[in-house]
Amino acid sequence: MARVEFGIVMEPSAGYTARLAVEIEAMGFDALLCPDTQCLSPEPYGQLSLAAARTSRLFLGTGVTNPVTRDSSVTAGALATLQIESGGRTRCAIGRGDSSAAHIGRRNATTAELRTYVEQVRAYLKGETVMRGETASRMRWIEPGSLPEVPIDLACTGPADRKSVV
Protein backbone atom coordinates (compact mmCIF):
# COMPACT_ATOMS: atom_id res chain seq x y z
CA MET A 1 0.00 0.00 0.00
CA ALA A 2 1.28 3.46 -0.91
CA ARG A 3 2.30 5.73 1.92
CA VAL A 4 0.26 8.91 2.20
CA GLU A 5 2.29 12.07 2.76
CA PHE A 6 1.06 15.25 4.35
CA GLY A 7 2.56 18.61 3.63
CA ILE A 8 2.03 22.32 3.98
CA VAL A 9 2.16 25.00 1.31
CA MET A 10 3.34 28.15 3.07
CA GLU A 11 4.57 31.48 1.79
CA PRO A 12 8.21 31.88 2.78
CA SER A 13 8.72 34.49 5.43
CA ALA A 14 12.17 36.04 5.66
CA GLY A 15 13.48 35.52 9.18
CA TYR A 16 10.84 32.92 10.06
CA THR A 17 10.76 30.16 7.44
CA ALA A 18 13.52 28.05 9.00
CA ARG A 19 12.01 28.28 12.49
CA LEU A 20 8.56 27.39 11.14
CA ALA A 21 10.03 24.46 9.19
CA VAL A 22 11.41 23.03 12.44
CA GLU A 23 7.93 23.26 13.99
CA ILE A 24 6.26 21.77 10.90
CA GLU A 25 8.67 18.84 10.96
CA ALA A 26 8.11 18.36 14.72
CA MET A 27 4.34 18.20 14.10
CA GLY A 28 4.93 15.21 11.81
CA PHE A 29 4.37 16.78 8.42
CA ASP A 30 6.28 15.30 5.49
CA ALA A 31 6.75 18.32 3.23
CA LEU A 32 6.98 22.09 3.17
CA LEU A 33 6.37 23.76 -0.18
CA CYS A 34 6.73 27.49 -0.81
CA PRO A 35 5.22 29.36 -3.75
CA ASP A 36 7.52 31.10 -6.21
CA THR A 37 5.39 34.18 -6.81
CA GLN A 38 7.64 37.22 -6.68
CA CYS A 39 5.04 39.93 -5.99
CA LEU A 40 3.22 38.02 -3.25
CA SER A 41 5.95 36.43 -1.16
CA PRO A 42 9.71 36.44 -0.54
CA GLU A 43 12.07 34.45 -2.78
CA PRO A 44 11.59 30.76 -1.89
CA TYR A 45 14.89 29.02 -2.64
CA GLY A 46 17.02 30.88 -0.11
CA GLN A 47 14.36 30.39 2.54
CA LEU A 48 14.08 26.68 1.72
CA SER A 49 17.86 26.27 1.97
CA LEU A 50 17.75 27.83 5.43
CA ALA A 51 14.93 25.42 6.33
CA ALA A 52 17.03 22.50 5.02
CA ALA A 53 19.83 23.41 7.43
CA ARG A 54 17.44 23.27 10.40
CA THR A 55 15.47 20.11 9.52
CA SER A 56 16.40 16.48 8.90
CA ARG A 57 13.54 14.68 7.16
CA LEU A 58 11.14 17.33 5.83
CA PHE A 59 10.86 17.41 2.04
CA LEU A 60 11.31 20.95 0.77
CA GLY A 61 10.44 22.60 -2.51
CA THR A 62 8.37 24.91 -4.61
CA GLY A 63 4.63 24.87 -4.65
CA VAL A 64 4.78 26.11 -7.44
CA THR A 65 7.40 27.68 -9.72
CA ASN A 66 6.84 28.51 -13.39
CA PRO A 67 8.39 29.04 -16.82
CA VAL A 68 7.23 32.67 -17.10
CA THR A 69 9.35 34.32 -14.41
CA ARG A 70 12.28 31.86 -14.08
CA ASP A 71 14.47 30.53 -16.84
CA SER A 72 14.81 26.74 -16.77
CA SER A 73 18.55 27.00 -16.06
CA VAL A 74 17.90 29.27 -13.07
CA THR A 75 15.25 26.92 -11.70
CA ALA A 76 17.49 23.89 -12.21
CA GLY A 77 20.41 25.63 -10.51
CA ALA A 78 18.25 26.57 -7.51
CA LEU A 79 16.80 23.05 -7.26
CA ALA A 80 20.22 21.41 -7.54
CA THR A 81 21.58 23.66 -4.81
CA LEU A 82 18.62 22.86 -2.55
CA GLN A 83 19.00 19.15 -3.32
CA ILE A 84 22.62 19.27 -2.17
CA GLU A 85 21.91 21.46 0.89
CA SER A 86 18.98 19.25 1.98
CA GLY A 87 20.73 15.94 1.49
CA GLY A 88 18.30 14.85 -1.24
CA ARG A 89 15.02 16.14 0.20
CA THR A 90 14.02 18.48 -2.64
CA ARG A 91 10.68 18.41 -4.45
CA CYS A 92 9.49 20.69 -7.21
CA ALA A 93 6.05 21.62 -8.43
CA ILE A 94 5.82 23.59 -11.67
CA GLY A 95 2.77 25.35 -13.10
CA ARG A 96 1.92 27.67 -15.96
CA GLY A 97 2.46 30.96 -14.14
CA ASP A 98 -0.92 32.10 -12.77
CA SER A 99 -0.28 34.71 -10.05
CA SER A 100 3.40 35.19 -10.92
CA ALA A 101 2.53 36.08 -14.50
CA ALA A 102 -0.60 38.09 -13.66
CA HIS A 103 1.24 40.42 -11.28
CA ILE A 104 3.69 41.45 -13.99
CA GLY A 105 1.20 41.67 -16.84
CA ARG A 106 2.29 38.48 -18.60
CA ARG A 107 0.28 35.53 -19.87
CA ASN A 108 0.55 32.01 -18.49
CA ALA A 109 2.78 29.55 -20.30
CA THR A 110 1.12 27.29 -22.85
CA THR A 111 1.13 23.54 -22.36
CA ALA A 112 3.86 23.26 -25.00
CA GLU A 113 5.99 25.88 -23.20
CA LEU A 114 5.44 24.08 -19.89
CA ARG A 115 6.47 20.76 -21.44
CA THR A 116 9.68 22.24 -22.88
CA TYR A 117 10.46 23.90 -19.55
CA VAL A 118 10.04 20.67 -17.57
CA GLU A 119 12.16 18.76 -20.10
CA GLN A 120 14.90 21.41 -19.83
CA VAL A 121 14.85 21.48 -16.02
CA ARG A 122 15.08 17.67 -15.89
CA ALA A 123 17.97 17.62 -18.37
CA TYR A 124 19.89 20.35 -16.53
CA LEU A 125 19.45 18.47 -13.24
CA LYS A 126 20.89 15.33 -14.85
CA GLY A 127 23.95 17.30 -15.98
CA GLU A 128 22.93 16.94 -19.62
CA THR A 129 23.36 19.46 -22.41
CA VAL A 130 20.26 21.46 -23.30
CA MET A 131 20.00 23.15 -26.68
CA ARG A 132 18.81 26.72 -26.20
CA GLY A 133 18.31 27.82 -29.78
CA GLU A 134 21.79 27.56 -31.29
CA THR A 135 23.52 27.43 -27.90
CA ALA A 136 24.53 24.23 -26.12
CA SER A 137 23.94 24.86 -22.42
CA ARG A 138 24.64 22.73 -19.35
CA MET A 139 25.28 23.10 -15.65
CA ARG A 140 29.04 22.69 -15.70
CA TRP A 141 29.13 22.23 -11.95
CA ILE A 142 26.83 19.17 -12.05
CA GLU A 143 28.52 15.95 -13.06
CA PRO A 144 26.14 13.86 -15.19
CA GLY A 145 24.27 11.39 -12.99
CA SER A 146 25.74 12.72 -9.72
CA LEU A 147 22.69 14.50 -8.33
CA PRO A 148 19.89 12.47 -6.74
CA GLU A 149 16.72 12.87 -8.81
CA VAL A 150 14.47 15.80 -7.91
CA PRO A 151 10.82 14.74 -8.23
CA ILE A 152 8.84 17.19 -10.37
CA ASP A 153 5.06 17.51 -10.08
CA LEU A 154 2.85 19.55 -12.37
CA ALA A 155 0.20 21.89 -11.03
CA CYS A 156 -1.98 23.22 -13.82
CA THR A 157 -5.17 25.20 -14.02
CA GLY A 158 -7.17 26.63 -16.87
CA PRO A 159 -8.43 25.16 -20.13
CA ALA A 160 -6.73 22.05 -21.41
CA ASP A 161 -4.46 22.36 -24.42
CA ARG A 162 -4.76 18.83 -25.78
CA LYS A 163 -2.28 19.43 -28.60
CA SER A 164 0.68 18.97 -26.27
CA VAL A 165 0.58 16.76 -23.22
CA VAL A 166 3.32 17.05 -20.58
Per-residue pLDDT at 160: 60
| Helix extents (H) in the chain | 17-26, 44-54, 72-85, 98-102, 111-125
Contact 89, 48 (CB under 8 A): no
Cα(73)–Cα(2) distance, rounded to whole angstroms? 33
| Consecutive H or E run containing 91 | strand 90-94
Instruction: For the chain, list the domains and their CATH numbers.
Output: 7-154 (3.20.20.30)
Per-residue pLDDT at 1: 84
Per-residue pLDDT at 156: 73
| Helix extents (H) in 40-138 | 44-54, 72-85, 98-102, 111-125
Q: What is the pLDDT of residues 125-166, one digit of tens each?
A: 999 999 999 999 999 999 999 999 999 999 876 666 555 445
CA angle at 152 for the pair 90 and 107, rounded to the nearest 5°: 115
Task: Tell me the average pLDDT across 74-84.
Answer: 98
Sequence-distant (≥ 6) Cβ neighbours of residue 163 within 8 angstroms: 111, 112
Task: Tell me the average pLDDT across 62-91.
Answer: 97
Q: What is the pLDDT of residues 18-59, one digit of tens each?
A: 999 999 999 999 999 999 999 999 999 999 999 999 999 999
15 CB burial (10 A radius; 0-12, 13-18, 19+): exposed
DSSP 141: T
